[in-house]
Chains A and B, each alone.
Chain A
């Protein structure tokens, strides 16, 4: 699972869209039937022969959700414990043991849920397991456990005291359907292919897939295949990239470093992106960092020649430069145990593209007026606009220029940076003042002023007609 970054203050979607009722637990009909059959015996006051239930299956298919939904629906109290809570025999007796003995004569029954029971360590926690094996057969309340792999040695003894209930892994189509539903509920623009990609990478793990979806959506406002490809990395894949990086950074032979990249399951451009961000973490001495970056820089030039010159045999040198070239740049640095960081650059790309589009649009608007190329506007005129929009205390000239060139919000934000709010407010103020009848004490002759305004207005109309890409013009924004 990859991007766990969930914005503060927002509910994680895995919680927001967690099934509330038994019906909402999707695609586990068989498991539901078996679990309910076992649970109904408790409801009817007969204790089943096996007083524990072991729900097992891949992560994120609804095991815990089902238990929670059942508890909610039948108004049972849910005592939820997970691996860290039941390590020692003593802790188990204090928590599970006590709860198991409570007799629900009146009031609500209790479901004891031991999540991730296969997280119990084989040796260290063996006392805990023994305690559990004593408690379960005597329990007055249903004890439900979940596990990914029920065949692990350390939990196998539980089979004797528990009903085994398998959960299927979800099919691709089922995961896609769940993601699609969330997109619809969130009013989110999602490419079908992106959802398929996420579902494929996460292999039936709905929880991981929803986390990925949320991370992309919150970062970029929409979910496209390109973004998904860049941002979503499956469990194994993530492990693979770390392995590739280790093989490069800790190589003792050039051929090994080279093979690390040429044989990596990751495509080489991804490996290069990770190297780019992690060289400074691994090489603290600037001399080493420089040599590594220089090799990487040459690797990308070769890559470019291979791509656009169409001669793919050049790829050989890409591997050599990016693999051994980076690996043997170490001369002065200690071996660093710093963890690898996720490439920032990849996260930046979408934002960068958007800013560049705004800059291009703005340059075009101004270029038409000042009869220059966009290139010249960018190099000779934008620097002065940045001064007027960012450095000048009085926002009025900036605001009036924004009106004169009919800039949209994005363009103003681009020019004004941190001062965008202030400039936008100034624009609004000017427009408001203009709607009110003007005092006659204006020091400029009325005619000339009208003339100037007419000119400005004419320009504004012309610009609006031409500037295709811009959606909200300031006019429509403020009126």
Chain B
């Protein structure tokens, strides 16, 4: 039986959204973190917080759940959600915080929350400015900063925040959650497949649930289906492009490069990152020592792209280099 068996609503959401815990009680792992956060809810007070840990371990979810438990169902009006990698610079952030600090305060709780996700993507200078903001508005706002790598957060900020470390999720927690979702959605599955999903996603719940949903869309969730989905998540065109270049067919490789950028709207940086992934993946067949050689030049091109020079020319230079190297490596196919 396929996925359509039980769910008959005409709307569907991504399951990462649909099954996101809403309250602290619903968060079934990160016990230590959750129990400390619950204290803040009880006392209706908290310092600035810094949540750190790998992707998909529930940092953002915990921040929302905390705000939910503090302010109730309509918590989002008392929380300013910012994302360092989407906001255009610290000045925009400053303006938004300034305006937010002036807005209505919640009943009963003496502060509002500024949630700053991916804070470790900010430059050190921007973080200094952020620190001043945190001081300036500390009377009626609390900041929750979220980061994958706490070492990238400057010390003066770290010292002003209560630190919360999120652990990679445990196997039984992830599998149990996947099982719950699968059953609720009426998905036919092999238990083994759920374990495979855990292994592939390495404790990243978001990735695990995404894999489950894509596999379920295909049909029964089996180990094979899971691998199939994971394989499909890497566009095969990137690999094809590299193989064409290595064979010396520069023109075909470049046409494919342009097609990829058009079809998926990729920027040069998006594409070069994927190239690196493919170069380091097992299903890309080159001599092992060539991977490092290639990745080294991928890095050089990535650097040039970061400097902001023309995408098409940089990637063309890369593909031309690859054509030359392919000749030297004697790659044929």
**A12 at the A/B interface (Cβ < 8 Å)?**
no
Given A289-B320, A400-B9, is A375 in contact with B309 using a C-beta cutoff of 8 Å? no
Q: Contact flags (1/0) for B154-186 with A, using CB distance below 8 Å?
A: 000000000000000000000000000000000
How far is it, in angstroms, between the C-alpha of A301 and the C-alpha of B268 when the chains are bound? 14
Least distance between B166 CB and chain A CB atoms (Å)? 15
Find the A residue at minimum CB distance from B9: A452
Flag whether A369 is at the interface (Cβ < 8 A): yes
Interface residues of B in 210-256 (CB under 8 A from A): 210-211, 213-214, 216-219, 229, 232-235, 248, 250-251, 254
Whether, in the assembled complex, B16 has its beta carbon less than 8 Å from a beta carbon of chain A, the answer is: yes
In the bound complex, what is the Cα–Cα distance between A48 and B8 (angstroms)?
A: 88
Q: B298-322 interface mask toward A, CB cutoff 8 Å, 1 = contact, 0 = none? A: 0001001001111011101100110
Q: Are B261 and A290 in contact (CB under 8 A)?
A: no
Chain B residues with CB under 8 A of A392: 214, 217-218
27 inter-chain pairs at a CB distance below 8 angstroms, sorted by A residue, are A280-B251, A280-B254, A289-B320, A293-B320, A294-B317, A294-B320, A297-B313, A301-B304, A303-B309, A305-B307, A356-B265, A358-B265, A371-B60, A371-B61, A373-B83, A375-B118, A376-B118, A380-B55, A383-B233, A384-B213, A386-B232, A397-B3, A397-B216, A398-B217, A400-B11, A434-B10, A460-B11
B283 contacts A by Cβ under 8 Å: no
A352 CB-CB contact with B under 8 Å? yes
**Interfacial chain B residues near A459, Cβ < 8 Å:** 11, 13
| Distance from A435 Cβ to chain B, minimum over Cβ atoms (Å) | 10
Q: Is A276 an interface residue (CB 8 A)?
A: yes
Hey, which chain B residues are within 8 Å of A237, CB to CB?
Answer: none
Once the chains are docked, how many angstroms separate the CA of A308 from the CA of B309? 11
Instruction: Give complex CA distance A296, B233 in Å.
Output: 33
Interface size class of B (residues with CB under 8 A): 35 or more
The reply to whether B12 and A403 contact each other, CB–CB distance below 8 Å, is: yes
- At the interface with chain B, which of A63-71, A216-224, A442-450? A442-450
Instruction: Decide if A414 is an interface residue (CB 8 Å cutoff).
Output: yes
For the residues of B in contact with A, the DSSP-based class is helix
The listed residue (B232, B265, B308) touching A355 by CB distance below 8 A is B265
The contact of A293 among B16, B86, B273, B313, by CB within 8 Å, is B313
Query: How many A residues, CB 8 Å from partner?
Result: 75
Binary CB contact string for chain B from 1 to 37 against chain A (1 if under 8 A, 0 otherwise): 0111111111111101100100000000000000000
Contact of B14 among A293, A370, A394 (CB under 8 A): A370
CB closest chain-B residue, reference A344: B258
Name the 5 nearest CB pairs between A and B, nearest first: A456-B11, A400-B12, A359-B265, A286-B323, A293-B317
| Contact of A391 with B by CB under 8 A | yes
What is the distance, in angstroms, from B242's C-beta to the closest C-beta of chain A? 14
Which of A387, A417, A430 makes the CB contact (< 8 A) with B214? A387
For the complex, is A401 an interface residue (Cβ under 8 Å from B)?
yes
Residue A185 CB within 8 A of the other chain: no
Mark each residue of chain A from 447 to 464: 1 if its CB lies under 8 Å from any CB of chain B, else 0.
001001101110110000
Chain B hits for A405, CB < 8 A? 13
Q: Which residues of B contact A359 (CB under 8 A)?
A: 264-265
Q: Is B267 a contact partner of A397 (Cβ separation < 8 A)?
A: no
Docked Cα-Cα span, A391 to B214, in Å, equals 10
**Among B55, B64, B217: residue with most chain A CB under 10 A:** B217
Which of B's residues lie within 8 Å of A, judged by CB?
2-14, 16-17, 20, 55, 60-61, 64, 81, 83-86, 117-118, 206-207, 210-211, 213-214, 216-219, 229, 232-235, 248, 250-251, 254, 258, 261-265, 267, 270, 273, 301, 304, 307-310, 312-314, 316-317, 320-321, 323-324, 326-327
Residues of chain A with a CB closer than 8 A to B310's CB: 272, 276, 300
Q: Are B11 and A276 in contact (CB under 8 A)?
A: no
B265, A352: Cβ atoms closer than 8 Å: yes
A372–B204 Cα distance when bound, in Å, is: 14
Report A398-411 CB contacts with B as 1/0, cut-off 8 Å: 10110111000000
Q: A352-B262, A373-B83 are in contact. Are A290 and B321 (CB under 8 A)?
A: yes
> Which of chain A's residues 348-390 have a Cβ closer than 8 Å to chain B?
348, 351-352, 355-356, 358-359, 366-367, 369-376, 378-381, 383-384, 386-388
Of listed B216, B248, B314, B317, residue having the most chain A CB within 10 A = B317
The complex places the Cα of A443 from the Cα of B326 at a distance, in Å, of 58
Residues of A within 8 A of B (CB): 272, 276, 279-280, 286-287, 289-290, 292-294, 296-297, 300-301, 303-305, 308, 344-345, 348, 351-352, 355-356, 358-359, 366-367, 369-376, 378-381, 383-384, 386-388, 391-394, 396-398, 400-401, 403-405, 414, 417, 430-431, 434, 442-444, 449, 452-453, 455-457, 459-460
* A384 and B214 contact, CB distance less than 8 A: yes
Give min CB distance, A374 to chain B, whole Å: 5
Interfacial chain B residues near A374, Cβ < 8 Å: 83, 85-86
| Min CB–CB distance A367 → chain B (angstroms) | 8
| Given pairs A305-B307, A370-B16, A444-B6, 20 additional interface contacts (CB within 8 A) | A276-B313, A286-B320, A286-B323, A293-B321, A356-B265, A369-B17, A372-B117, A379-B270, A380-B207, A384-B213, A387-B214, A387-B217, A394-B2, A397-B12, A401-B12, A403-B11, A405-B13, A434-B10, A456-B10, A457-B11
**A375–B233 touching, CB < 8 Å:** no
Alpha-carbon gap, A374 to B118, bound state (A): 11
Compute how far the CA of A387 lies from the CA of B83 in the bound complex, rounded to whole angstroms.
Answer: 27
CB distance from A391 to the nearest CB of B (A): 5
User: Is there contact, CB below 8 Å, between B307 and A304?
Assistant: yes
Q: Which B residues lie within 8 Å of A292 (CB)?
A: 320
